Structures are given as C-alpha cells and as structure tokens.
Amino acid sequence: MTSQPTSGLQAGLKNRHLSMIAIGGVIGAGLFVGSSSGIRTAGPGILLSYALVGTLVVLVMRMLGEMSAANPTSGSFSAHADRALGRWAGFSIGWLYWFFWVVVLAVEATAGATILEGWIPAVPQWAWALIVMMVLTATNLVSVGSYGEFEFWFAGIKVVAISAFVIIGALAVFGILPGVDSDKAGLSNLTDHGGFLPNGPGAILTGVLLVVFSFMGSEIATLAAGESEDPQRAVTKSTNSIIWRVAVFYLGSIFVVVALLPWNDPSIKEKGSYVAALDSLGIAHAGQIMNFIVLTSVLSCLNSGLYTASRMAFSLGQRGDAPKAFARTTSRGVPLAAIIASVVFGFVAVFFNYKFPDSVFLFLVNSSGAVALFVWLVICFSQLRMRKIIERESPEKLVVRMWLYPYLTWATAALIVFVLGYMLTDTEHDGRETVLLSLLVAAVVLAIAVVRQRTGRGSAAVGDGRGTDAVDDGDDVNDVVKVG
C-alpha cells in the first residue's frame, strides 16, 4: 500500500511502549562509558554529583510534566516555550534541541560501530556506522509502533542489566553473594583512600559537569506521549516515576561501583567503571557482557535520538518554523521528510567524525554540548508563565503540579545558571569551550528567530501534530494543543 500524506501523527504507541521509553530514557549510554572519569575526578563524592544532577532532572521533569500533562504535544517544551515565552523561544530551543540530537546520532553510531568492529573486524568501522544508522532509520520510517517496539526491547535489556548489576553488586558489598569473596568490596571504600571527598568539595561541581549530559533523554517520554492513546496519563505516569528511576539506575549503580572498588583503582580507568566492578567479582567475560549492554544502550539512544529529532522537526514544521514538508506524514502517521532530514544530517556528522574528527566534528560536539542545560532553563521559564495561563484558562488540566511553585522553579533556574557559570571556569574538561561554542550557536539561532519574527514570518498556527491545527490568538491555553 502506498503512503499518502495525512493530517498528522497517529496514536501508535502502546502503554507498555511509553512505560519502557520513560524508564529507559534516563539510562543513557553515557552512564556506562562516562562514569569512570567522574569517579576519578570526585572519588566517592561523585555520588553527590549524581544526586545533585538527579535532583535537577527530577525538578525539571516535574515542570515539564505539569505543562505536558495539560497540553500533550509532539513539540513538548518547544511548543510550550512558543506559547509561554514567544515564537522566538519555541523556534530557538526547538532547533537547538534538533541540532543536539542529530549530533548525538553521529556520536552514538560511531560508538556502536567501534564495538561491532571489535566483534567482526572484517567489516570496517564506517560500514558498521552506516549499517546501524540505516537499520534504525528503517524502523522509524515504518511506523511509530515499530519505533516503540524496538525501543521497548532495547530499553528492557538496559533496565534488566542495570537492575541485575545493582542487586548482584549490593549483595557483594554486604558480603552475602554466594560464591563470591571479593577482598576489595565494602562500604569502607566510601571513606578510605583519602576520604569521601579525596579531591576536595570543589570536585563535586566538576563531577556535575562530567555527568550532567548523561541524563539527557529523560524528556523523550513527553514528546512520545503525543503519539499515545492517552497522552495525559502517559505523561503523568512518567513524571511521577522519575524519582525512583534516577535513584535506582544512577545513584544505585554508581553506589555499587564505588563500594565494590576503591575509587582510585587503576582498573576503573583502564576498563571502565562497570566492567572493572564486574571483573572484581570474578564474573567471566565481564568485558564482553558490558560491551553488549553498552551496544544496546547505544542502539536505544540512536533509535530514540532519530525519533526525537524528527518529531521536533515535525513540530517546527507545523508551527511554520521549518519547511512545510516536515509537517507532512504518511498514511502510517510517519513524518517522512523530518526523519530523512534528521538522518541525512546525522550521516554528514558521521562523515565529519571520520574525516575531520579534531576540527569540524569536535566543533559540532562542543557547540551542542550545553544544549541540555539551555533546554532545562527554557523549561523553567516556560513553566513560570504557563502555570498562570493554565490556572486562568483551564485549571482542571493541572493534574501534575510543580512543587513549591514558584520558589522551587526559580531555585532550579538559578542552579542551572550557576552550573553554566561554573563551566566557564573549567578549562581542564573543555567546559568553557563547550559553553562558549553552544552560546555562539544559540545566539545565531536566536538572531534568526528574531529576524523571522520582525519580518512577519513564522506566524503559522500551533497544533498538536495529531489533527487540526489551532489558531493562536494569544489568549486561550487550548491554542497550544487541540487533540484532533
């Protein structure tokens, strides 16, 4: 059957898809491959770094959940910013977020290709990158249901693996794991070897810079909810479960790592934190087991990254902030042009990674690095205004409420600004370069948004992507979304 353009996205995601997308969304590949540098920098105190960023994510997701439960839309925070702050805000943060994820596609494709080449060296790395990108592009092109099904299993493997790691590791730490007698494991690792903060309290903030980006992806559930049968319920459920997800998967697993091994054990740097922890328990083939889990996380990130970038492009197209073709869908409810445009940029970025890794690709990575913090900051300011609009227009839609509004929202925004400011002082881990280049790209996008607004462009209606667009009269909160 040929695919003909339809009016918008379709509700093709089942409840189990949404549940696993929400759970798996907070477990990025960065948790497995990036935690070792944080442990070496902050010692056991990296737990405080993860706790600080985890708290930040919980608060931001609470704000986003409040807005998205009231108005589920494929544009999520970009559409909310469009309504609450102005067209310039929705345009800017939408395109920056799209840029972030298409660069991530290249990073993750390369990481996955490296693992696969190690298993089957006869196939070159660039070919593996091409293969994984093409396969996951195909799944996204079929239907949103096929994306959801792939993500259900990818995320399921991640969840099972990290849950097993936490349980087995905790049993070993407390000396009750049958058949294992680790001479290094124990709670004493948290205070021995220089104390809980061997490199001083300042290392906690440096650790924040190293781990903050591994949390990006927790907001994907709010974008995906727009293609579910009961968006409000899906958003509410994912928002309410974010606390235990962060606590178990991040704090729980990192606690196990630093309790199983001394923070300064050479194997953490040589093998990676999770592989080193498994090896310390004498688990056979720990390296290959972890490579499989990391590969699954990479594929999950690729799958969700392509989905997220295409849905943001779709939403921008609907609002007149991107080519109109991006807003067209096939008979299966797939935004074909938006997916193709996103994956083409991803392929170009992969090419840059192989040809110009230390110049062009490094610029792309650094210039998108702080986008996560920009997104969170925009969510804070959007929620401050959107709460008043919803309370005035449709108070019955406030099924999720931000705690201690507006004080906790302001405190969260201040903490994000503080982290960005602290990054400007970091020259050792490229924090300053990341912020400055990201600000440069953001300034360019913002300038384009302002010019468009002043020249009268980008005045298209704001819709939800699943039916008839609504006319934005600047007053009614229902203008943000009308579920068709």
User: For 187-212, what is each residue's pLDDT tens digit?
Assistant: 999 998 899 999 998 889 888 888 88
pLDDT value for 459: 53
Assign residue 149 the CATH number of its domain: 1.20.1740.10
User: Considering its fold, how many domains does the chain have in total?
Assistant: 1
406 CB burial (10 A radius; 0-12, 13-18, 19+): middle
CA angle 128, 133, 134 (to 5 degrees): 100
Q: Is residue 164 part of a domain?
A: yes
pLDDT above 90: percentage of residues in the chain: 44
pLDDT value for 427: 84
237 Cβ contact list (under 8 Å, min separation 6): 18, 19, 22
Q: Is residue 346 part of a domain?
A: yes
pLDDT value for 258: 94
Q: Is residue 58 part of a domain?
A: yes
pLDDT value for 447: 96
Rounded distance between C-alpha atoms, residue 182 and residue 261, angstroms? 9
End-to-end Cα distance, the chain: 25
Q: Is residue 3 part of a domain?
A: no
Q: Is residue 270 part of a domain?
A: yes
Task: Specify whether the CB–CB gap between 394 and 478 falls below 8 A.
Answer: yes
How many residues does the structure list for the chain? 484
In eight-state DSSP terms, residue 399 is S
Q: Is residue 449 part of a domain?
A: no
Position 220, amino acid: I
Mean pLDDT per 10-residue segment, the chain (484 residues): 50 80 73 84 94 93 93 88 93 95 89 91 91 91 88 89 90 82 82 92 87 82 81 83 86 93 91 88 83 88 90 93 92 91 91 88 87 94 96 92 96 95 87 92 95 74 41 38 30
Task: Specify whether the CB–CB gap between 125 and 114 falls below 8 A.
Answer: yes
447 Cβ contact list (under 8 Å, min separation 6): none
In eight-state DSSP terms, residue 260 is H
pLDDT tens track for 213-229: 788 878 888 888 778 87
Coil/strand/helix, residue 6: strand
Range of the domain at 368: 16-73+94-440
418 Cβ contact list (under 8 Å, min separation 6): none
pLDDT value for 458: 57
pLDDT value for 82: 93
Q: Is residue 173 part of a domain?
A: yes
pTM for the model stands at: 0.88
Q: Is residue 127 part of a domain?
A: yes
Task: Specify whether the CB–CB gap between 255 and 35 falls below 8 A.
Answer: no
Position 451, amino acid: V
Going from the C-alpha of 151 to that of each of 22, 249, 307, the distances in angstroms are: 10, 18, 10
Sign of the CA dihedral 182, 187, 188, 190?
A: positive
